[in-house]
Amino acid sequence: MKFGIVVDSGCDLISLRADVADKIDFTRSPLKLDIGDKVFIDSIDLNIEEFMKEMYSYKGKTGSAAPSPDEWLKAYEKSENVFVITITGTLSASYSSAQIAMELFKDKYPNRNIYLIDSKSTGPEMSLIVRKLTEYITNGMDFESICKNIDDYCKHTNLLFILESLDNLVKNGRISRLKASMAGILGIKILGVASEEGTIDLLSKCRGKLTVYGKAISEMLERNYRGGRVVIAHCFAKDVANYVESKIREIHPNCDIEIMKTSGLCSYYAEKGGLLIGFESE
């Protein structure tokens, strides 16, 4: 029976590895990014650089919109056994829209299987979940066993982020203006975490890159990182991502680290220079 993994574009992955792509249907259901009266579809074809230029030049209201239930349903219909992963339902309507589509799918296809996962996070943590689902499926695990095991796995995934600006997070109500009060001061970088409830918590405000990146790695170790898989997503900050990778490898030389660019949605919130670190903990 054919397996499918469906994500919204809060996930930075745009495809599966070539050796498993013919075994698993991978679909991204894109969010829409609104810059004034212009709407950008966060698909794999989105020119992130042009989108960011438009975003920075526009001074009015901007925002994002979740995929509709119909858009989700069309993605589900490609497969017999479907796993769905959304950006945190606490801060986005994407999860509730996917949930409505799931009920429609069950009614329309009673003999198919579907399982919906609220990542309580975004970006690299969603990518970690996709990678683990891919392992389970290619190893021949049955649907019910995958559901049980992925729930346990999600208890051991984490997301840290390092940002230079919180402007879009504040404008769209993802974080309070009070919490963000020190952001934007020259030289200050923000270290934060996706909480267990799927909200955004700020951990510290650091001056200078060496301080904040060292603090991020210390935070990983405090959260029981012991050399598991890491996914680093960057918004026009490849050199920074490479630097963080090198510092992690000084502690765990043989760990599995994957670096990728942020999607349109993660670029919108992380902004230029932003870094998101997803990792497994014990």
Taking only the tens place, the pLDDT of each residue in 98-126 is 999 999 999 999 999 999 999 999 999 99
Q: What is the mean pLDDT of the chain?
A: 92
pLDDT in tens, 178-213: 555 555 554 568 898 998 998 888 887 776 666 899
Alpha carbon distances (Å) from 9 to 12, 92, 126, 248, 259: 7, 12, 10, 27, 17
Residues 276 and 262 in one domain: yes
Average pLDDT of span 54-80 = 95
pLDDT in tens, 27-38: 999 999 999 999
What secondary structure does DSSP assign to 229-270, as a single string? -EEEEESS-HHHHHHHHHHHHHH-TT--EEEEE--HHHHHHH
Residues 142 and 210 in one domain: no
Whole-prediction pTM:
0.93
Residues 33 and 147 in one domain: yes
Q: How far apart are CA 27 and CA 72, in angstroms?
A: 10
Residues 189 and 234 in one domain: yes
Which distant-in-sequence residues (6+ apart) come within 8 Å of 210 by Cβ?
Answer: none
Q: How far apart are CA 181 and CA 193, in angstroms?
A: 17
Residues 19 and 126 in one domain: yes
Residues 131 and 189 in one domain: no
Sequence letter at residue 53: K
Hey, which bits of 87-207 come out as E strands?
113-118, 157-163, 188-194, 200-207
Residues 66 and 7 in one domain: yes
| pLDDT band at 6; cut points 50, 70, 90 | very high
CATH classification of the domain holding 244: 3.30.1180.10
Q: How far apart are CA 234 and CA 241, in angstroms?
A: 6
Last residue of a domain, one of 125, 154, 183: 154
